[in-house]
A and B are shown apart, each in its own frame.
Chain A
């Protein structure tokens, strides 16, 4: 087991700035902790992964599925990129969630560039 990796996560649990670096500029984290080229590559990969899978307008794109609360709809053929493309039912769901979940609201704002 890599003690270094454990230390990185432990430090992040106490250091908000480091966590912000991880979110916004992971290369700074790589440099500070002298992480391996493979870890650095995976962090770069996470940018691509996040942008591809994290469309907050598509519920079935959510990367976590909870068994007793799972969505039952099939994934749409083309992912919507604006509110106009949503069904009325989905728009109501999104609005409900925005009102109850500030973090989700922030993701929708960021996704729509508001």
Chain B
């Protein structure tokens, strides 16, 4: 079996037929289908909503990796990349469409230490997102909605359109599996990528059209996932923020989500956030202070971020 150049990897949980349409779009809009494979991670879908790929496997290699346990998006993506054979991995979602010539453009823009942040389009409007930026100290994100200059660096690549060499994904360590189910994976991965010495570059001409959830779907989803999302934000902050901001971050979450904060704090201890902080501080070449300087980052109301005490010499 020839080795593909690009592996498209995405998790699918109860996505059913949408998976077939996503794969069809990938094939129909690329220049060299024989150089592409698709790895779908079925993240414990209910039986009748399992990924349905129709006849797409006759057009390109498609593998479905099933998990009987609900992994969450981070662990599912990691599992997919472990099964990928392409030199380049294209992380995306199960309900997207691709712009024409996406594979040729990836081939032109990718480098060993570069992550491409693709442009995300809303299927139902003219809205476009060009990567995200970090909201400190809450550890959420905000979209960049202004068209960028080509080749511009961004803080955060969005998971529905993140492309890099598989070797780089491995070197960064994949998505943080200490996080739970949903929320916070992409910004944490991106900050860690920057701190690892990689760069994240916007690829404005490669577009991924995404199906965003409706308001009612969104509310129903977040109500169920809130404890995990709160935990993930806290874990993100504990692993990267200056210590002096950690309690401030916890207070913000406690004010906003009083019914979830206690369980989230319990999970924080249980899932080893503090040892993760130590591990990253010991192993990453750049500290969070470097990231703050790199993007002239301020907190959510424009105040300086107190990173002085965590600053250490820059790597040679």
Min CB distance B263 to A, Å, is 8
| A66-B183, A100-B223 known; A6-B262 Cβ under 8 A | no
Query: Which of B1-9, B77-85, B135-143, B192-200 makes up part of the contact surface?
Result: B135-143
For the complex, what is the distance from the CA of A69 to the CA of B143, rounded to whole Å? 12
Residues 63-77 of A contacting B (Cβ, < 8 Å): 63-70, 72, 74
Q: Which residue of A lies closest to B267 (CB)?
A: A13
Report whether A10 and B269 are in contact in the complex, using a CB–CB cutoff of 8 Å: yes
Chain B, 132-175, contact with A by CB distance < 8 Å: what is the 0/1 string? 10010110111101000000000000111000000000000000
Q: How far is the CA of A5 from the CA of B250 in the complex (A)?
A: 11
- Dominant secondary structure of chain A at its interface with chain B: helix
Q: How far is the CA of A8 from the CA of B245 in the complex (A)?
A: 14
Give Cα distance in the complex from A64 to B232, angstroms.
11
Q: Is the CB of A70 within 8 A of B301?
A: no
Cβ-neighbour of B251 out of A5, A14, A43, A104 (below 8 A): A43
B158 touching A45, Cβ below 8 Å: no
B303 lies within 8 A of A63 (CB): no
- Collect the chain A residues with CB atoms within 8 Å of residue B254's CB: 19, 22-23
Whole-angstrom CA separation of A54 from B35 in the bound complex: 48
Cβ of A30 to closest chain B Cβ, rounded Å: 9
Q: Are A38 and B215 in contact (CB under 8 A)?
A: no
Chain A: CB-nearest residue to B226: A103
User: How many of chain A's residues have a CB under 8 angstroms from any CB in B?
Assistant: 50
A9 touches which of B158, B222, B269, B306 (Cβ 8 Å): B269
Q: Quick check: is B113 within 8 A (CB to CB) of the other chain?
A: no
CB distance from B43 to the nearest CB of A (A): 13
25 contacts between A and B (CB under 8 A): A1-B274, A1-B277, A2-B243, A6-B274, A9-B269, A13-B265, A13-B266, A19-B254, A19-B258, A26-B251, A29-B247, A35-B247, A50-B252, A54-B255, A63-B140, A63-B252, A64-B183, A65-B140, A67-B186, A93-B215, A96-B219, A100-B219, A101-B219, A101-B222, A102-B259
A-side interface residues toward B, CB under 8 Å?
Answer: 1-2, 5-6, 8-10, 12-14, 16, 19, 22-23, 26, 29, 35-36, 38-39, 42-43, 45-46, 48-50, 52-54, 62-70, 72, 74, 93, 96-97, 100-104, 107
Given contacts A46-B248, A65-B141, 12 further A-B contacts (CB under 8 A): A13-B265, A22-B251, A29-B247, A42-B245, A46-B137, A64-B183, A64-B233, A66-B218, A70-B129, A72-B127, A93-B215, A101-B222
Which B residues are within 8 Å of any A CB, using their own CB?
93, 122, 125, 127, 129, 132, 135, 137-138, 140-143, 145, 158-160, 182-183, 186, 210, 212-213, 215-223, 226, 229, 233, 243-248, 250-252, 254-263, 265-266, 268-269, 274, 277-278, 299-301, 303, 306
